[in-house]
Chain A
Amino acid sequence: MTHRLIRRRVAGTAVTAALALALTSCFGSSKGGASDNPDADVTITFWHGWSAPSEVKAIQATIDAFEKANPNIHVKAVGNITDDKINQALRAGGPSAPDVVSSFTTDNVGEFCNSHAFVDLAPFLSKSGIDPEKTFPGPQLSYTQYNGNQCALPLLSDAYGLYYNKDAFKAAGISAPPKTMSELDADAVKLTKASGDGYSQIGFMPDYHFYESTITHFGAQWAPTYFDAEGKSTVATDPAINSAMAWQKSLLDQLGGYDKLDKFRTSAGEEFSNNNAFMTGQVAMMIDGEWRAGMIDDSNSKVDYGVAPFPVPDDQAAQYGKGYITGTIVGIASTSEKQNAAWEFVKYLTTDTDAVVNFANAIHNVPSTIAALASPRVSQDPNFQQFIKIASDPNSTTTPASPNGGDYQLVLQNLGYDYQSGKQTDLQSGLDDAAHQIDTNLAQVQ
């Protein structure tokens, strides 16, 4: 009686094992191709991250202009896409996967290039006779490629600067925005008013958890290298990060210490809501991107704000005017079967000067081509022009791409959290560990 059952069970296990082996060899997503006819009538899917109504309207206007110029290509746009979803869709492939993808973060470019999830755009660029170095500014080119593989292009940029509350400045007797770090420290202290065991106004919020106050944004002012020529982390040896973190901690302590400031932070309004702490007047100076100006103008905030480049370290005072650059990136999924049509769209989005300028004006972002930056049709609003200058400054920097995404930034960020809260007291040893961790993580994915 039992033999047959045993035999059946063995057969069952064998089937499962065979299934397992068969399916294990089925990994790797489907491959697309650039063999489609760009003049044929086709619909491509475009994923982007914009979600606010005004931004969605702006991208749709750009799409409409493209469709008018290319009546055979229809673009189906899907918004509010985050990086998680992009990763998953690119891995899955299939008919619902996008053809053109844009992302707010530059972090994953290294991984997309290395794994060929995005196609190398160099052949497309040369086919269309576009020289990337003459078309795009340096930083924008560097954060859209990795290891010689130009797998993405910049789709509008962001530049970071200093927003300051003019009324608060007047009340504190400060005549001009600070240009160096010591001036920033002094002004921040002057503008901070305690109230009970909290604050009624804070001059500047260096807390790494607050809005855009991150080590990469601050660190840019010290001109860090992040990686050496061999791809090893330099955070332990490069004085830039060390000085940046030391400055942040000292300012934190001058303003009342981490505990008090973080408590304030947890009760502050949402970064992108009308209760943004700068927009309500609770924080007098803030580091933020060029989009903030448009948001303040569109809101009912009564803050009379000014814009200036973010201060520079005292010993680099001559480089005042530079800032941190990043931007939205756009690429073509390698699983797409309509890559030629997709390229027409990407080319339009990223290089057509009118398209770039109109889009930039509409969503208050910085244009990402040399031609567009110089165009007279760019909004001449003085605050916006300030950011144009920051973006065009030759000393402005960005964070380099890396094959495991923003991992090195995460390691630095965690060190920052530990250092600011007092969990880590020895900055140099923390940086040594961070450099070691970054290198180990990188080695693990090579």
Chain B
Amino acid sequence: MATVTVQPETPTAPSQTHDVYRRRRILEWVAVHSLAVGLALLFVLPFVFIALTALMSDQQSLTRDLWPQPFAWHNLVDVWHTPGFPTWWRNTLVYAVAGTALTLLSSLPVAYALAYFRFRGRNVAMMVVIATMMLPPQVSIIPLYLVWAQDFHLTGTLWPLIIPLAFGDAFTIFLLRQFMLTVPRAYLEAAKIDGCGDFRTMVRVVIPMIKPAIAAVGLFQFFYCWNDYFGPQIYASENPGAWTLSYGLQSFKSAHHTDWNLTMAATVLVMAPVIILFFFAQKAFIEGVTLTGVKG
């Protein structure tokens, strides 16, 4: 290698420096791009294999073959017609939609109060919010389950999961509060001067200003409910009519006579709607995640 020392302040041989610089930049470009492409392939590969296996016959799914021969498209139909699959879909949708709506409705006022009201014990309240945020659900599940089961007889339904969301969700409250703090005080004061009470101010002034944040926490809550496995396992497992997709999918595999090809086909049907939704709402998704991460 030529021993050319390049000093930034005194470029002695301009063409040589330029060449070395350009070569380094090209190498960098190649390295970065090949790394990116390689990693991207790695990330996509699981999806590819899942899809391929979903289309295999059950015997072929047990072999080391990587390519289905022939393509068993009917697997997807078979899975959809498994008793209960559409029910699981519907239950999951109901849980996620109702849960998200209730969470937002009940958390907004609380976040508002914690952001703008001055009262003794506000710091304690914030600490309690954070404490409950960090609480694993397993800590409180047993007494709650006993109450729902023995006193209200609501096990075998999704109500024990939906009803508590009408009382606010700590994570949502926390994030909404952080966002509300970024609303310039001038707006709030103007509203007060106009004679708006707190409720009006919240609805007319603050909420419209933090719409992206509301969308983001709404999405978070939606996904939390959609992906919830522990909750439905505890409360809904005794009644197949109340199962959600996550619990149904898990039981799909442990039920008798279910092979990998059908399980993977079911996985495809469970993953696909979410991924498709993502492709169409990409901007909203990523903006939402970014906002909460940066501001939270």
Give CA–CA (A9, B240) in the complex, Å. 43
Binds B, one of A84-92, A217-225, A322-330, A421-429: A84-92
B257:A272 contact, CB within 8 angstroms: yes
Most buried by A among B62, B120, B237, B258: B62
Among B59, B153, B258, the residue within 8 A (CB) of A92 is: B153
Closest B residue to A30 using CB positions? B150
A93:B258 contact, CB within 8 angstroms: no
B140 to chain A, nearest CB (A): 12
B240:A275 contact, CB within 8 angstroms: no
B121:A93 contact, CB within 8 angstroms: no
Most buried by B among A51, A96, A271: A96
B198 within 8 A of A: no
Residues on the B chain within 8 Å of A29, using CB: 150
Size of B's binding interface in residues, CB under 8 A: 24
B240:A2 contact, CB within 8 angstroms: no
Closest B residue to A23 using CB positions? B147
B120:A5 contact, CB within 8 angstroms: yes
B233 to chain A, nearest CB (A): 9
B58:A89 contact, CB within 8 angstroms: no
B59:A88 contact, CB within 8 angstroms: no
A26 within 8 A of B: yes
Among B59, B120, B150, B238, the residue within 8 A (CB) of A2 is: B120
A273 within 8 A of B: yes
A172 within 8 A of B: no
Closest B residue to A89 using CB positions? B238
B237:A85 contact, CB within 8 angstroms: yes
B239-267, CB under 8 A of A: which get 1 and which 0? 11000000000000001111100000000
B203-247, CB under 8 A of A: which get 1 and which 0? 000000000000000000000000000000000011110000000
B257:A27 contact, CB within 8 angstroms: no
Given contacts A9-B121, A92-B150, A272-B257, contact A80 B58 (CB under 8 A): no
Among B59, B120, B147, B240, the residue within 8 A (CB) of A80 is: B240
Give CA–CA (A407, B146) in the complex, Å. 23
A135 within 8 A of B: no
B146:A27 contact, CB within 8 angstroms: yes
Query: Which residues of chain A (1-49) have a CB below 8 Å from chain B?
Result: 2, 5-6, 9, 23, 26-30
B153:A272 contact, CB within 8 angstroms: no
Give CA–CA (A267, B259) in the complex, Å. 11
A5:B119 contact, CB within 8 angstroms: yes
A294 to chain B, nearest CB (A): 13
Give CA–CA (A269, B61) in the complex, Å. 10
Give CA–CA (A93, B238) in the complex, Å. 12
A65-96, CB under 8 A of B: which get 1 and which 0? 00000000000000011001100110111111
Closest B residue to A27 using CB positions? B146
Among A51, A91, A269, A274, the residue within 8 A (CB) of B150 is: A91
B19 within 8 A of A: no
A270:B257 contact, CB within 8 angstroms: yes
A275:B150 contact, CB within 8 angstroms: no
A26:B121 contact, CB within 8 angstroms: no
B255 to chain A, nearest CB (A): 7
Given contacts A5-B119, A88-B237, contact A275 B153 (CB under 8 A): no
Among A2, A81, A93, A273, the residue within 8 A (CB) of B259 is: A273
Known A93-B150, A273-B259, A275-B58; 8 more pairs at CB < 8 Å: A5-B120, A26-B150, A26-B151, A52-B257, A88-B149, A91-B146, A270-B258, A274-B58
Measured CB to CB, the residues of B under 8 A from A are 58-59, 62, 119-121, 143, 146-147, 149-151, 153, 155-156, 237-240, 255-259
Could you list 13 examples of A-B contacts with CB < 8 Å?
A23-B143, A23-B151, A51-B255, A51-B256, A80-B240, A93-B149, A94-B150, A96-B153, A267-B62, A270-B256, A273-B58, A274-B58, A275-B62
Please provide the 5 A-B residue pairs with the shortest distance between their CB atoms, ordered closest to farther.
Answer: A94-B153, A92-B149, A272-B256, A85-B238, A273-B257
